[in-house]
Amino acid sequence: MAATRIWIKNPLALFTATTSTAAGGLVIEDGVIVQLLAAGEAPAAPCGQVFDAREHVVLPGLINTHHHFYQTLTRAWAPVVNQPLFPWLKTLYPVWARLTPEKLAVASSVALTELLLSGCTTAADHHYLFPDGLEEAIDVQVEAVRALGMRAVLTRGSMSLGEKDGGLPPQQTVQQGQVILDDSLRLIRRYHERGDGARVQIALAPCSPFSVTTEIMSASAALAEAEDVRLHTHLAETLDEEDFCLQRFGLRTVDYLDSVGWLGPRTWLAHGIHFNPDEIARLGAAGTGICHCPSSNMRLASGICPTLELEAAGAPIGLGVDGSASNDASNMILEAKQALYLQRLRYGAER
């Protein structure tokens, strides 16, 4: 089959990871950028399609590093509009426990479409709800991602520490550890793609310190290492979470992360707000990533992520819209704007 070549011609502006001076545009061949053109330069070979981009700015696809697609269905729900994280979760858990495959398919498609419309082409979703009848939730999400032509890291989340054992989620939303691990391995073996051009990848993502056991955290780290996939969880989002870790484990959040084998470059964390200077240094030295979620953090009054300190320490920093139940949108370009404004409150207008 002949290669498909497209010339995005003479854009108003063009920005890539390495240049912003390709005034003549770019050439795409079979989905890969093969040539950047200076002003007046023509493609090295004929192009079957030419798009006149004189009124357009060309940007790389944005990357959303933390989301909860299913929460699109509980957007702007009045009972939780003015609640902080723990009561917000306690109110929403029983609603989310009624999630079905059909509802998840709709929610995922809506979230992905909104992301695409805002310039996002790669998304990481953290799905940790598997009530009866929704055991194949990640399979549903894979279908939605493929239908819309996006790239995604779909994280097999989990909750194994219910209310009766001192956790936050109700019992009908938790799973047994072996069930979690067996399904995690199934998903990796069935869907995880590697190398250039990978479109769907699987990561392992026990939900949070207050909703999973230490055993499932440690076992997930071991499985991720054995299968060479990444790890993801919520950490240091609120002071309530810090208090929970101190009371249950006798450890601060980063000490807990280290104790279960998660402190390393395989891991990226959602929120990462309440770290002290020593913890920031340890995260940076370990190469552990942080996803900054400004709109969600403002909505729940959780705090402001210390992004500049984390980045200076060596921790990779990403950006995420988080779930629509704490954001009310899946808009990456708006999230970038919110990140700029929120960080100015912390560091000043000159930074």
Lowest-confidence pick of 18-27, 135-144, 179-188: 18-27
Instruction: Give the per-residue pLDDT at 21.
Output: 72
**Count of alpha carbons within 13 Å of 333, Cβ hemisphere only?**
10
Residue range 260-311, pLDDT digits in tens: 999 999 999 999 999 999 999 999 999 999 999 999 999 999 999 999 999 9
Mean pLDDT of the chain: 95
Instruction: Give the per-residue pLDDT at 19.
Output: 63
332 vs 323: CA distance, rounded Å:
12
Distances (CA, A) of 116 to 6, 56, 65, 121, 295: 20, 17, 14, 6, 18
How many H helices and E strands in the chain? 11, 14
Instruction: Give the per-residue pLDDT at 350.
Output: 84
- The helix-helix angle for 239-249 and 85-96 (nearest 10°) equals 80
Nearest to 36 by CA among 10, 62, 63: 10
Q: Indicate the Cα dihedral angle 143, 179, 267, 200, nearest 10°.
A: -20
Task: Kindly report the backbone phi and psi dihedral angles of residue 33, in degrees, each rounded to the nearest multiple of 5, phi listed first.
Answer: -70, 120
DSSP codes of every residue in 8-22 = EES-SEE--SS-S--
> Residue 84 in contact with residue 39, Cβ under 8 Å?
no
pLDDT bucket at 16, cuts 50 / 70 / 90: confident
- The domain segmentation of the chain, as residue ranges, is 5-58, 62-347
pLDDT bucket at 3, cuts 50 / 70 / 90: confident
Residue range 158-190, pLDDT digits in tens: 999 999 999 999 999 999 999 999 999 999 999
Q: Which residue has the tokens 């395989």?
A: 266
Beta bridge partners of 268: 232, 289
Indicate the fold that domain 62-347 takes in CATH. TIM Barrel (3.20.20)
Instruction: Give the per-residue pLDDT at 1.
Output: 55
Instruction: Give the per-residue pLDDT at 325.
Output: 87
